[in-house]
Structure 1
């Protein structure tokens, strides 16, 4: 009976892609009633979008929950975000935590802001910086803006710890995904706080998270969704970031919403400047024919925690000047710093002494 159910579910996705939304929902009703998690998730998407079914977020939530209880990753991720947007933060927390542990960018961003503001979770600026950094590295625009604000508010020492924690969280996320996939592949019942299910058509982890019998394109956040923003700390000159609304086209617009009420807290003591690094290994950041371009790049990277204490080096090479950061004690330290720079959207090359 599994093959016909999958065929009906896939046929519904094909109908959906042709714009035949009513027909798609009819294809999914049978498999969903028999417990097909992909079909249940798809019906949830239809109710959320109001295509092939009347728009009804409560019904969408119910279908997402059915699929999530069977370990459907996309359903679990979407359910957590939906509950959060409905201001049911305590109920959303285990879903968001599980999503963040797998590396879901929006969940990491929400939890990062929560830890920064101390909203429903303990205030932890190191973890806030780590989670927001990982979300920004994935390309989430609002996380990038939030990280810029955090750079102006979080002391350098805590940001450096955040960079190290981000690398540790990424390793744990990879291990978590592998562990969950293996458990699901062996037929073990997935944990309620970290659901996962294998694909019906392929054995790879990436395909397992988004099987071809699931609607995902343009549907995850087709309705406007307001994301949180960091709150300004009293004494900081950093502006209050406005929440964003993500539209169906993928364009991000600034939502005109009241600024969050500032939290009264003591300004953290600034960490002392790091000692000047003395190692021989270097990181090349680029080669420039115009010095102003090298100056511009250095102004963007010199404040990053992975380059703290590492001085600028300009090396003439023919008609161009190579821009480097020096003072790394060994290749491992230089590789780690270069990796963090790449995660932040910069290019670099480790140079041997």
Structure 2
């Protein structure tokens, strides 16, 4: 006979998830999550974030991610930070991302690094920001490597050398070994967007699908989504060309907003901040809502 659900393991839930039996996975994880298992809490949060086996509910996802993060769950700290940051609470998002960055999580390193570089929610420190981004790039995170190339064009050699020296004191790589207890999804792909913000990942359910946002009725309103900030407008234009085919951006256009030597790529309009945030979930990457000018 099958073991009672409450007695089954997180791994059993992963096995069900990988068979696309999402309701069974949820039934296994929920009692474990309610009992304090951080991996089960993280996986349940991912299920709510992706809308698999349960209705898509970012508020519920945040609750479960936070429970896991308070237990020191590294993926939960990162995913929670990215989710909160993307939805406009930058101070709270940066708090969780800093905890993850201090443990060497590459996505968190990238976001904190670009925040430091741009002085976005933290005191500006371009050298330290360069150090964080370079540490992330050294772990093979492609968006960090792209961001580092951008910073190389913006910073003098002497400052870059100071940043590289500082990077040696920053942890590299997650201290948490790969585990079969966490659902895996596609890696977040943060762009450098005043600074690079990133999108949450999952501890990581197998299929790499993004959460499906609620339909957006029309292309009007006072909100946009910001997808990146670049030293060259051509780079912003190239990113828009890569993303413009996404259904959620249909009928909306790019805005290239100059900010000193930086060009910010924004797309809109959207009817509300909630609609813009929902679009960010679908687009992924370093996306967050901004008011239209």
TM-score by length of 2: 0.65
Structure 1 vs Structure 2 CA RMSD: 3.2
1:216 aligns with 2:184: yes
Q: Which runs of 5+ in 1 are unaligned?
A: 178-204, 233-237, 246-251, 266-353
1:19 aligns with 2:20: yes
Give the drift of 1:139.
1.9
Distance 1:224 1:262 in 2: 31
Is the CA contact (8 Å cut-off) linking 1:240 and 1:259 kept in structure 2? no
Matches within 5 A, 1:92-111: 92-111=93-112
Distance 1:9 1:134 in 2: 32
TM-score by length of 1: 0.55
Moved more, 86-95 or 29-38: 29-38
Distance 1:50 1:144 in 2: 31
Matched residue, 1:165: 166
Distance 1:135 1:215 in 2: 22
Matched residue, 1:242: 236
1:134 aligns with 2:132: no
Distance 1:78 1:136 in 2: 19
Matched residue, 1:7: 8
Matches within 5 A, 1:1-353: 7-170=8-171, 205-207=175-177, 210-218=178-186, 220=202, 222-223=209-210, 229-230=228-229, 232=231, 238-239=232-233, 241-242=235-236, 253-254=242-243, 257-263=254-260
Distance 2:8 2:125 in 1: 48
Give the drift of 1:61.
0.5
Q: Give the length in aligned residue pairs.
A: 219
Quickly say closer, same or farther: Cα 1:108–1:254, change in 2 above 3 A: farther
Is the CA contact (8 Å cut-off) linking 2:8 and 2:28 kept in structure 1? no
Distance 1:244 1:103 in 2: 30
Is the CA contact (8 Å cut-off) linking 2:51 and 2:211 kept in structure 1? no
Give the drift of 1:257.
4.7
User: Which protein shows a greater Rg?
Assistant: 1
Q: Which has the higher contact order (CA 8 A, sep 6+)?
A: 2
Is the CA contact (8 Å cut-off) linking 1:15 and 1:23 kept in structure 2? yes
Distance 1:227 1:143 in 2: 18
Give the drift of 1:222.
4.0
Give the drift of 1:26.
0.8
Is the CA contact (8 Å cut-off) linking 1:146 and 1:241 kept in structure 2? no
Provide Cα deviations, 1:245-288, integer angstroms capped at 9, x if missing partner: 9xxxxxx94467533440489xxxxxxxxxxxxxxxxxxxxxxx
Distance 2:237 2:104 in 1: 22
Q: Give the SS at the match of 1:150.
A: helix
Matched residue, 2:275: none
Q: Which runs of 5+ in 2 are unaligned?
A: 187-200, 203-207, 213-224, 245-252, 263-293
